[in-house]
Amino acid sequence: MRTLVRRIRQGVPTGVLLVVLGILVVLPMLFIALAAFSDDVPRPGSIGLDSLSLDNFAILGSSEALGALGNSVFIAALASVLAMAIGCGLAFLAARADVPGRRFLYFVGIAPMFLPSLVGALAWSLLGSPATGFLNLVFQGIGLDVTLNIYSMPGLIMVLALYYAPYAFLLVHGALSLMNPDLEEAAFVHGGTRRRTLSWVTFPLALPAILGSGVLIFALTMENFPVAQVIGNPGQVETLPSFIYRLMNASPSRGTEAAAVAITLTAVLLIVTALQQRAVMRRKFTTVTGKGVKTKLVSLGRWRWPLFGLALVYFLLAVVLPIGALLISALQSSPYVSSLGQLTEPGALSFYMIGQLILSPDFLQSAGNSAVTAILAALLGTAVSFVVAYTVYRTNSAGRRVLEFVAMAPLAVPAIVLGLGLLWTWLVIPLPVYGTVFVLVIAFMAVFLPQGYRGVTSSILQVDRDLEDSAVLLGARRATAVSWVTLPLMRVGMVSTVLLLLMLCMRELSAALFLFTSDTRLLSILIFDNYDNGAMQGAASVSLLYCVVILIIALLAKSFGAKTVDGAR
């Protein structure tokens, strides 16, 4: 009996969490699952179990679906590997190496996040389309006989990798900042070369972050629609996201089949998560122990400048060129450019439109909405992620494994499908949030829970438990101990997570589509509408301003403290 009481008492926190996650994540997913097994879309008012069937899954067997899946897996795998290489490399340089301009490299690492993948893809289509891409015009201009064709499989992979590398960067940067050099030095002394030390100690210790961001990137590139549409589609590269998009956009809509695809993806992703969980739970990755952390920079010797150069190349490809392209396209008075010379003609470029845009109530309102929603969602999302991660990795409560799966589940569902589930959920739940910004905040928290969770987990695993336990023994309540010891030690990781969520929320479109109202339009919707109108110039202008808004917010967030952890100074 008492044992039962204790069980219940111990279970209460997890129970509360499960309820929160249940509403946030499970309910929308259940709706989607129901849709996947129903003949008709189970909207509020017509939810029922009477039309259950497995017919929707037939679509998975179609050669189209299989082909798209194969393509997507291939593309996502290559893009993830590339993105991971870029992200981890940059993270290492910015966190641990004695490269020139480390702070700048941090900026390089996160800057591509300012460009939503839709904008990045558009920019690259401006740059690299075979007929009129700016780069091709430049090549022509200087008499080079090469034609860059971004509309191809390699192009698609490159653009995806460019814009997903920051995920790896942020998570891995957090992890590497928490490294204890003693562990590396031990390898160095025992005969390990620098490279060997990195590959034997440093990166494996960041494994939770690396694996975590790997899973994230893989899943996200697999379902990224904008790049697939803008880059893949013209190149006739068929992918799963286009496939889902078509299902959703077909007339009549084939939402139930889209849900079936989503459910299948979820299953696959859960398996991947389980594998990753096994790898992470089996070992320990504590790098911050009670015997001190003395962050030390790794000396790169003569590789300093070449590596810095590589980072610059990435910056050029991911940020400078695309922003340049966007700028030209936002300023130019005609979307058609046949040679670069045309741009120098009088009247070819004008700031008028951008000026108009900044002052337009539309822009101001959506910028405000975006900022508020993103900041709230990022902070709350990080908080929830922390609580979940803490419960999973620092307590013995029953059901903590389940929590992890729940937290990771939204990753598998394409945002557009999840958006539907969220719509149904928040229409059904009798809380007065539907139609307000709060419903957007909640939706973003749900959609980005996996990202937040992964971000927090990787750093929580690095902090030795003894540090927190000692605070408890010295008389602090658990919460005090967490806020005095654990959180500050994880600061870099937490700030990274907030930043990550912030930027993701700023640019998220699909999940918001079903939930916004005329008062709660977001910048991302403005961009998409502009693009959908064929108003590339508008889209480019909003994108530019939007980059500025994100930049400002990100700099503010960063100045709240992504310092490294090495003793109070």
Check if the beta carbon of residue 147 is closer than 8 Å to that of residue 130: yes
Q: Which two tokens stand for residue 215?
A: 């899973």
The correct pick among 19, 283, 340, 560 for binding another protein (CB under 8 A) is 283
In the region spanning residues 251 to 270, those forming contacts with another protein, defined by CB under 8 A, are 251-253, 255
* Shortest CB 106 distance to another protein, Å: 20
| Site size with another protein, rule: CB under 8 A | 133
Chosen residue from 104, 368, 470, 551 binding another protein by CB under 8 A: 470
Among the listed residues 30, 104, 138, 229, the single contact to another protein using CB under 8 A: 229
CA–CA gap between residue 433 and residue 439 (Å, rounded): 5
293 binds another protein (CB under 8 A): yes
Q: Phi, psi (5° rounding) for residue 353? A: -65, -40
* Subset of residues 183 to 222 that bind another protein, contact rule: CB under 8 A: 183, 185-194, 196-197, 200-201, 204-205, 207
Interaction with another protein in 497-536: which residues (CB under 8 A)?
A: 513-514, 516-519, 529-536
Question: Which of the residues 397 through 456 are near another protein (CB under 8 A)?
Answer: 420, 423-424, 427-428, 434-435
Selection from 9, 13, 29 nearest residue 450 by Cα: 29
Helix (H, G, I), strand (E, B) or coil at 332: strand
Give me the least distance between CB of 553 and another protein, in Å please.
26
Footprint of another protein on 54-83 (CB under 8 A): 64-65, 67-68
| Contact stretch for another protein (CB under 8 A) within 21-29, 277-285, 383-391, 547-555 | 277-285
* Cross-strand pairs, 463: 288
Nearest approach in angstroms of CB 108 to another protein is 27
**Residue with Cβ nearer another protein (159 or 554):** 159
Complex with another protein: residue 297 or 555, whichever CB lies closer? 297
Binding mask 19-58 for another protein (x = CB under 8 A): ----------------------x-xxxx------------
| Residue 52: strand, helix, or coil | strand
Which CB atom, from 555 or from 566, has the smaller least distance to another protein? 566
CA distance 478 to 358: 48
Contact pick of 302, 334, 361, 559 for another protein (by CB under 8 A): 334
Residue 383: CB minimum distance to another protein, A: 21
Q: Cβ contacts of residue 390 below 8 Å, gap of 6+?
A: 460, 482, 486
DSSP 8-state class, residue 297: P
Please state the separation of Cα 534 from the chain's center in Å. Answer: 27
Contacts of 214 (CB under 8 A, 6+ apart): 80, 84, 168
Q: Compute how many other C-beta atoms are within 10 angstroms of the C-beta atom of residue 351.
A: 11
Please answer whether residues 338 and 132 qualify as being in contact, where contact means their C-beta atoms are separated by less than 8 angstroms.
yes
Find, among 544, 191, 518, 529, the residue nearest to 365 by Cα.
518
Choose which of 11, 13, 22, 130 interacts with another protein (CB under 8 A): 130
Which range of residues in 110-118, 155-163, 264-272, 481-489 is near another protein by CB under 8 A? 481-489
Give yes or no for a contact between 557 and 146, defined as CB atoms under 8 angstroms apart.
no
- Rule CB under 8 A: is residue 131 a binding residue for another protein? yes
290 sits near another protein (criterion: CB under 8 A)? yes
Binding characters for another protein, 348-377, by CB under 8 A (x = yes): -xxxxx-x----------------------
Q: Does 15 sit near another protein (CB under 8 A)?
A: no
Q: By CB under 8 A, name the one of 80, 464, 496, 507 that touches another protein.
A: 464
Distance CA 269, CA 404 (A): 12
DSSP state of 484: I
Please state, in angstroms and rounded to a whole number, the distance separating the CA atoms of residues 527 and 540: 8
Which residue from 70, 306, 335, 341 is in contact with another protein, where contact means CB under 8 A? 335
> Hunting for tokens 């693009």 — which residue is that?
531
